[in-house]
């Protein structure tokens, strides 16, 4: 059930990225928020580590906005593949597992290719990778029940 929800969420997110101006609005909101956070940090804002993390986040959002359409289309394809794979597994078809694995791999590689290897992109992809790995392992444990 969680994989169906994640797939539907991926479809929604892909449509938002590909067909709306949400990524551009997020950049403006993030810049305003960053300025507010820098003001609250005061002297700590001069720390190069803090500035690097803040700038990395803005850079990632800018790249995401530049590549919003391809990212959105990619998210839609990955979500459809994932949903199809989960549906196949739901119907006890082993092929669905491999489709799901393919969707997970594409879903991890796509953001790194389109947004580059910035610190926050790598951390976000790593977190998504752990969740994907967990689900792949859990589904893999049930392959013996699939035909």
Instruction: State how far the alpha carbon of 92 is from the alpha carbons of 31, 35, 76, 85, 89, in Å.
Output: 48, 52, 24, 10, 5
The continuous run of DSSP H or E covering 36 comes out as helix 22-41
- pLDDT tens for residues 104-118? 999 999 888 887 776
Scored b (16 or more CB within 10 A) or e, 21-51 reads eebeeeeeebeeebeeeeeeeeeeeeeeeee
Confidence of residue 62 (pLDDT cuts 50, 70, 90): confident
How does pLDDT run across 63-87, given as a tens digit for each residue?
A: 777 888 898 999 999 999 999 999 9
The reported pTM is 0.79
- Mean pLDDT in the chain? 85
């Amino acid at each position: 059930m969680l994989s169906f929800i994640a797939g539907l969420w991926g479809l929604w997110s892909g449509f938002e990225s590909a067909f709306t101006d949400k990524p551009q609005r997020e950049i403006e909101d993030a810049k305003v928020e960053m300025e507010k956070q820098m003001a609250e940090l005061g002297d700590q804002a001069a720390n190069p580590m803090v500035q690097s993390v803040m700038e990395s986040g803005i850079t990632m959002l800018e790249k995401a906005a530049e590549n919003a359409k391809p990212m959105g289309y990619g998210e839609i394809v990955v979500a459809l593949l994932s949903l199809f794979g989960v549906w196949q597994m739901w119907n006890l078809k082993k092929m669905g597992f491999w489709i799901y694995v393919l969707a997970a791999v594409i879903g991890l590689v796509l953001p790194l290719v389109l947004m580059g290897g910035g610190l926050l992109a790598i951390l976000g992809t790593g977190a998504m990778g752990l969740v994907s790995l967990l689900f792949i392992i859990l589904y893999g444990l049930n392959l013996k029940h699939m035909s």
